[in-house]
Amino acid sequence: GSDESVLYLPGTREEISEIFLDAMTELRTEVRLNISGLTWEFGAENDLKNLYYAVLSEHTGLKYAYDVEVSLSGDTAVCSFLYMPYVTGAYESGVPEGAAVIDSLYHARAAAQGMTDGTERMTVAITDPALSVDDIQRALGQAGYGWIRYDLSRDGTELIAQPATGRTLEECAVAIEESFRLGSEIVSEQLDDSMTEGEQIEALYEYIVENVSYDFRYYSDWEAMPYESTVAIGALRDHLAICGGYAQAFQTLLDLIGVENYTVSGVSQGEYHMWNYVVVDGVGYYCDPTSDRGGMRNHYMLTVEELAADGGYSWDHEFLTRISGAADK
């Protein structure tokens, strides 16, 4: 039962793992074990912590149980689980002053995108207990334009920024700002007020596939290829990029005109690849500007079925529908 005064008498490590699994699933804060008769490899405290980590690695949906503390008294071990506040109802009476509310995966990404000015830490209150820690982390991976990485803090109450490359956070923020400045110039040159949203998206896609060349140093001289080729600035400033640069350039341009979009990390033709997921009128479509370089239109606004029928792609479509709420056509 959920009575935390129960004293369990496990006979094996497997039984302890089951007890931990049940407790973490039910959000119990404490498990009391009679450990007489059990033998330990690295001592009771370390072994019990290792069993907790093993349960977490097998059941990744339980990452909200972010730590365990073990105290020993004679033959009794008290294992106290620490939970991210969002799963315990801690915010039902209100969120801490100044905390950014995250009530969806979409807002997790939006909160992180608000930190691209070089903000290092932000206090957050995740208010939907149904969100998984892995999904939140993947949503944060959608922010930062390849320059900044965002992580949920261990206890789930902060977003923490760090450079994704060997630069300072400030230098990364400047690079993002520069790619938006370049993108703004392209938007003002390529678009006008008479265009529909669909025509604007198409014009920006055309610009990228017609004006950006592939940086083949990725294959021939990888170490000589600048980091800029993997992000938007390579495509927008140098007209030279690999898939990450193409995808993040298109993302930057769509962000500038307010079109909801995401980058897609997956595999294409046996290689890691990045492309785009664009949401129009609540429906999601795929675009792969790298594959259409040279001015083609074979991978423009494809449905999930059309991209899957292409044969060479594998990716997590379900995550994109969870973060965007978009439907398939």
For the chain, the helix, strand and coil percentages under 3-state DSSP, each to the nearest 5: 40, 25, 35
CA–CA–CA angle 115, 121, 122 (5° rounding):
75
CA distances from 126 to 60, 81, 145, 228 (A): 18, 19, 23, 33
The pLDDT of residue 311: 87
The pLDDT of residue 3: 64
What is the Cα–Cα distance from 245 to 248, expressed in whole angstroms?
5
Reported as a single tens digit per residue, the pLDDT across 83-111 is 999 999 999 999 999 999 999 999 999 99
296 pLDDT exceeds 90?
Answer: yes
The pLDDT of residue 49: 98
| Tokens standing for residue 277 | 């997921």
Under the banding of pLDDT at 50, 70 and 90, the label for residue 37 is: confident
1 pLDDT exceeds 60?
Answer: no
The pLDDT of residue 5: 78
What does the pLDDT average to over 252-263?
A: 98
The pLDDT of residue 291: 97
Mean pLDDT (the chain, rounded): 96
2 pLDDT exceeds 80?
Answer: no
Alpha-carbon 198 to chain mean position: 27
The pTM for the full model equals 0.94
288 pLDDT exceeds 90?
Answer: yes
Reported as a single tens digit per residue, the pLDDT across 206-223 is 999 999 999 999 999 999
Sheet holding 100-102, edge to edge: 100-102, 121-126, 158-163, 148-152
